[in-house]
A = this chain, B = another copy of it.
Amino acid sequence: MQKHFTTERLESLEKAYRTHLINSLGGFKSVALIGTISKSEVTNLAIFSSIFHIGAHPPLIAMIFRPSPPERNTLSNILETGYYTINHINESIYKQAHQTSARYDEDISEFEVTGLEAEFKNGFFAPFVKQSHIQIAVLFKEKIDIAINNTSMVIGEITEIYVPENCISDDGFLDIEKANTITCSGLDSYHKTVRLDRLSYAKPNKPLSSLSINCCD
């Protein structure tokens, strides 16, 4: 049976209930760990489930920041230094990743309290997460304020990536499922995935076919 929520019904919901419900409606989300470091050299690590692709030429990725405290250190570090990392979360580290959402004091590094390891490499200013299989170096480009609900969109350019060699297909497709990347839904539900198919480019009056995934193993 389908349940129908009208505007009036949605408005009358208790706040936490509505937060869970509306958050779930967005579907499965890209969830990752954002690594930053302040000018005073305190590292910071925070989980975000509002990351999205906005273009490949140039390679741009964006995320939404809420005005709430745990996200503030990440945002101020990005704005202060211009650099951050995006690190995919896999099945082995999702609990530690979730723990980074606790409200630690500004002078405490979430790397230390969670046991996730900061990795500095190739001269990039911000720390990567060593346990992450897919690591992305990002250069801050632009912050766009979203007045309607006091959030901000931060856009960055992907400058370097580290990915498992055996997860790259011939056509550039990166098999993130093979890299054990997970997804989340709502505020707190984590999921691994099972591929249904890769489908060919759709054209009118042409049947779809399955695309092969040829990764070198």
* Chain A contacts to B: CB under 8 angstroms: 1-7, 10, 13-32, 50-61, 64, 66, 86, 88, 91, 94-95, 98-104, 108, 113, 122, 134, 136, 141-142, 144, 146, 148-149, 151, 153, 155, 158-166, 168-169, 171-177, 181-183, 185-204, 206, 208, 211
Copies of the polypeptide in the assembly: 2
Residues on B with C-beta less than 8 A from A189 are 173, 175, 177, 195, 197-198
Shortest distance between the CB of A169 and any CB in chain B (Å): 8
The answer to whether B196 and A60 touch across the interface, beta carbons within 8 angstroms, is no
| Chain A, interface SS category | mixed
The answer to whether A25 and B50 touch across the interface, beta carbons within 8 angstroms, is no
The answer to whether A17 and B171 touch across the interface, beta carbons within 8 angstroms, is yes
The answer to whether A190 and B195 touch across the interface, beta carbons within 8 angstroms, is yes
CA distance A148 to B199 in the complex (A): 30
The answer to whether A57 and B15 touch across the interface, beta carbons within 8 angstroms, is yes
CA distance A204 to B122 in the complex (A): 32
Residue of B nearest to A161 (CB): B5
CA distance A195 to B183 in the complex (A): 9
Shortest distance between the CB of A26 and any CB in chain B (Å): 4
- Which of B31, B55, B101 is A202 in contact with, Cβ under 8 Å? B101
The answer to whether A25 and B161 touch across the interface, beta carbons within 8 angstroms, is yes
Residue of B nearest to A135 (CB): B2
Residues on B with C-beta less than 8 A from A146 are 54, 144, 155
